[in-house]
Structure 1
Amino acid sequence: MPHQQHVTLVVTHHLAPGQEQAYEAWLKRIMPDAATFTGHLGVNVIRPSGSEQAYTVLVRFDNLDNLYRWIHSPQRVQYIEQVTPLLLGSDHIEIRPGAEFWFTPPSANVRTPAKWKQFLITLLVIFPSTNLVPWFWSQLLPGLSGSLAGHLLNDASVVALVVFLWMPLVTRQFHQWLTRH
């Protein structure tokens, strides 16, 4: 995997019964510390739904080197020691390149969504974004419409909205439907 590619640390935690409140408090402590590391791009937490009792935490970094600095930092090691008593086992981590984590199930018990469902969810996010963002920027900065700078601004805005806002929200909202047989 190239060191310049965005990466996502996918952490799966299966909590011991009754540890939800302590785990949520732990999340509130670790997330701001992770955000102070160079290259940190954000965190999404997928909380348990239905019969699935696993938390999945997605921590994004701008490259693999910066992610490794976080993974091997004394702060993270200390946080892992704190959370271990709250878990049914050890934490399970994976490192995923790019944005493929959107449709990666949090555990082996959950199916990867059908490609047609992935297509529909992606279209649901991309179609309005690619229509509304250019309209928004043309209203705000009419002089950029049709120019290379205008296209760059539109594309950058759409990608940022999709990666950091819409896909995490939509995949969480449609999780049940995506993973249904």
Structure 2
Amino acid sequence: MSSVKNIKPTVCQPGDEGPITVSISRKVKLGSEAKYENWVSGVINAASSYPGHLGTNVLRPSQATNHEYVIIYRFDNYANCQHWEQSTTRSEWLAKLENLVEGEAVTKRGTGLEFWFDLPELPTQKHPSPHKMAMILIIVVYVLVAAINVVFAPILEPMPFWLKTLTIVVAQVLLMTYVVMPRVTRLLKSWLYR
């Protein structure tokens, strides 16, 4: 007999939910890749002019993305994300996609730590428990910050405090997002998603 957990949703005031991460996967029609790349540049430029935009990443087709393009964009809160998503500007850009893509787009949203624990092969709604995510992130952040401080000590030492801190934070976030967390999540998948 399986047990069902009673999960209570977290309720917060608008603006208190933290950053919103949205990923959109699309299959591009064969031969339309160059036009789609131009479209991506244009839509990213348009989105970046909206309040709260924190950046956009593009994953090009590969085995890891199921041979689809994936656009990942972030906004500082839900209201600003909605402002972009419901804008006339975005609607105009989406209208330009009609002859470039096939099938429906797959959209995933995250409002916190789960972005670092996303695995493409798992259902969108499936995320590790918050205490497991927090435990892994504490360990990973500690190890990365310690390693960056040790390895780059000669370079960091003469820097002013604010620049040293900024350098460590940028290096740590980039390493976590693109190198460490995808590998850690795959390595600990059976424990994280149990």
CA distance, structure 1, for counterparts of residue 144 and residue 122 of structure 2: 33
Q: CA 1:173/1:102 → structure 2, altered by over 3 Å: closer, same or farther?
A: closer
CA distance, structure 2, for counterparts of residue 21 and residue 126 of structure 1: 42
The CA deviation at 1:48 is 1.2
Q: Secondary structure at the match of 1:18?
A: coil
Q: Secondary structure at the match of 2:158?
A: helix
The CA deviation at 1:159 is 4.1
- Kindly indicate whether the alpha-carbon contact (under 8 Å) linking 1:34 and 1:70 is maintained by their aligned counterparts in 2: yes
Partner amino acid, structure 1, of 2:97? V
1:11-60 Cα shifts (integer Å, max 9, x gaps):
11111222211111101111111111111111111111138221111101
CA distance, structure 2, for counterparts of residue 88 and residue 172 of structure 1: 31
- State the identity %: 26
Partner amino acid, structure 2, of 1:101? F
1:82 to 89, 93, 96: 96
Q: Who is 1:166 aligned against?
A: 175
Q: CA 1:108/1:19 → structure 2, altered by over 3 Å: closer, same or farther?
A: farther
- Kindly indicate whether the alpha-carbon contact (under 8 Å) linking 2:149 and 2:168 is maintained by their aligned counterparts in 1: yes
Q: CA 1:49/1:37 → structure 2, altered by over 3 Å: closer, same or farther?
A: same
Q: CA 1:87/1:68 → structure 2, altered by over 3 Å: closer, same or farther?
A: same
The CA deviation at 1:78 is 0.9
Whichever structure has more helix as a proportion of its residues is 1
Partner amino acid, structure 2, of 1:140? M
Q: Who is 2:114 aligned against?
A: 100
CA distance, structure 1, for counterparts of residue 84 and residue 143 of structure 2: 35
Q: Secondary structure at the match of 1:84?
A: coil
Runs of 5+ consecutive residues of structure 1 not aligned to the other structure: none
CA distance, structure 2, for counterparts of residue 24 and residue 173 of structure 1: 25
1:49 paired to 2:66: no
Runs of 5+ consecutive residues of structure 2 not aligned to the other structure: 1-10, 127-131, 188-194
Partner amino acid, structure 1, of 2:43? I
Q: Who is 1:15 aligned against?
A: 28
Partner amino acid, structure 1, of 2:171? L
CA distance, structure 2, for counterparts of residue 21 and residue 172 of structure 1: 31
CA distance, structure 2, for counterparts of residue 63 and residue 18 of structure 1: 37
With the length of structure 1 as denominator, give the TM-score of the two structures: 0.69
- Kindly indicate whether the alpha-carbon contact (under 8 Å) linking 1:133 and 1:157 is maintained by their aligned counterparts in 2: no
| Equivalent pairs, count | 166
The CA deviation at 1:106 is 4.0
With the length of structure 2 as denominator, give the TM-score of the two structures: 0.65
The CA deviation at 1:79 is 0.9
CA distance, structure 1, for counterparts of residue 42 and residue 98 of structure 2: 15
The CA deviation at 1:98 is 1.9
1:139 to 140, 158, 163: 158
CA distance, structure 1, for counterparts of residue 19 and residue 44 of structure 2: 18
1:104-144 Cα shifts (integer Å, max 9, x gaps):
234669xx9xx9xxx6xx84x76344343583554213xx5
